[in-house]
Amino acid sequence: KAGVTQTPRYLIKTRGQQVTLSCSPISGHRSVSWYQQTPGQGLQFLFEYFSETQRNKGNFPGRFSGRQFSNSRSEMNVSTLELGDSALYLCASSDGLAGVVQYFGPGTRLTVT
Amino acid sequence: AQKVTQAQTEISVVEKEDVTLDCVYETRDTTYYLFWYKQPPSGELVFLIRRNSFDEQNEISGRYSWNFQKSTSSFNFTITASQVVDSAVYFCALSDSYTGTASKLTFGTGTRLQVTL
C-alpha cells in the first residue's frame, strides 16, 4: 500500500497570507489527524477528521481549520499567517479506532516571512 | 490531563554501545496506549511500537527492546549495539479515551540520539 502523502513538501508564504496544505491517507483509512511541530512547542495536535467530520480538536486559534473529503483526503488551511506559524505540519492516517497506530506523512515545511 | 516526559534531551553514544531512552507518562485513564516513533533527519515520523495499558509484557524486536512498567508509569526503550543509522530523534507518545476518541497523540519532547563511529 502506498503511504501517506502530503503536498506541497515546502512552502514559503508572507505574513498575512493564507495557505492550504493537503494530505492523502493510506488507502482504506478514514481518519486523518494533523500535527504542528516547532522547535519551541514540539509536536502538537491540531485536529482530527473522521468520515468527513471533525472529531477532535486541539488548542489552536480559529485561523487553523480543516476539512475532509469523501475520499478521505484532507486539507488544512491557515489564514492570516503569522511568523509563529512557521513549522513542520504532519498529517497522520489511521482507521480511526481507539489506540490504533497512526502513520505519518513526510510533512509540509511552512516558512512564514 | 495527559502528559509525556522525556527527560533526556540529547544522548551521544559510540557505535555498539547500548542506550536506553526514558519515557514517563501521566494519564487519568485506565485504558491507554503508548507509542514510540523515530524521526530521522528527513522529518517523517516512523512508527516503532505500540503498547496498550493491559499488556505489560516487555518486547524485543531485533536490537530494540521496550520495558513497560505501570507501577512507575514508564515505557523505556533500549537499543542494543547501537549503529550510526539509529541516529534520530525518538518520541514517546500517549493516547487515551479521556480526549474522547483516543486518536489524539500526546507527544513527549523527544530525545535526540547521536551515534558516532
pLDDT in tens, B63-88: 999 999 999 999 999 999 999 999 99
Mean pLDDT value across residues B19-29:
95
If you measure CA to CA, which chain A residue comes closest to B105? A45
Give the C-alpha separation, A94 to A3, whole Å: 11
DSSP strands (E only) in B15-107: 19-21, 24-26, 32-39, 46-52, 59-61, 64-69, 74-79, 88-96, 106-107
| A44: alpha, beta or left? (left if phi > 0; alpha if psi -120 to 50) | beta
Structure confidence at residue B60 (pLDDT): 84
On whether any CB of chain B is under 8 Å from the CB of A19, the answer is: no
Instruction: Please answer yes or no on whether B103 and A104 come within 8 Å at the CB atom.
Output: no
| All cell numbers assigned to A65 | 481549520
Structure confidence at residue A2 (pLDDT): 79
Helix (H, G, I), strand (E, B) or coil at A84: helix
Calculate how close chain B gets to A45, using CA atoms only, in Å: 7
Give the C-alpha separation, A105 to A90, whole Å: 6
On whether any CB of chain B is under 8 Å from the CB of A6, the answer is: no
Whether the pLDDT of residue A39 is over 90: the answer is yes
Instruction: Please answer yes or no on whether B43 and A102 come within 8 Å at the CB atom.
Output: no
Going by C-alpha positions, the residue among A34, A2, A39, A10 that lies closest to residue A109 is: A10
For residue A101, give the nearest of B50, B97, B109 by CB distance.
Answer: B50
Sequence-ordered list of residues with C-beta below 8 angstroms from that of B16, at least 6 positions apart, any chain: B81, B82, B83
Chain A residues touching residue B42 (CB < 8 angstroms): 106
Whether the pLDDT of residue A29 is over 80: the answer is yes
Q: Which of A101, A103, A108 to mutate to test the interface with B (most CBs of B within 10 A)?
A: A101
If you measure CA to CA, which chain A residue comes closest to B95? A99
Name the pLDDT band for B101 (thresholds 50, 70, 90).
low
Sheet holding A64-68, edge to edge: A5-7, A19-24, A74-78, A64-68
Q: Which of B10, B44, B103, B105 to mutate to test the interface with A (most CBs of A within 10 A)?
A: B103
Chain B residues touching residue A40 (CB < 8 angstroms): none
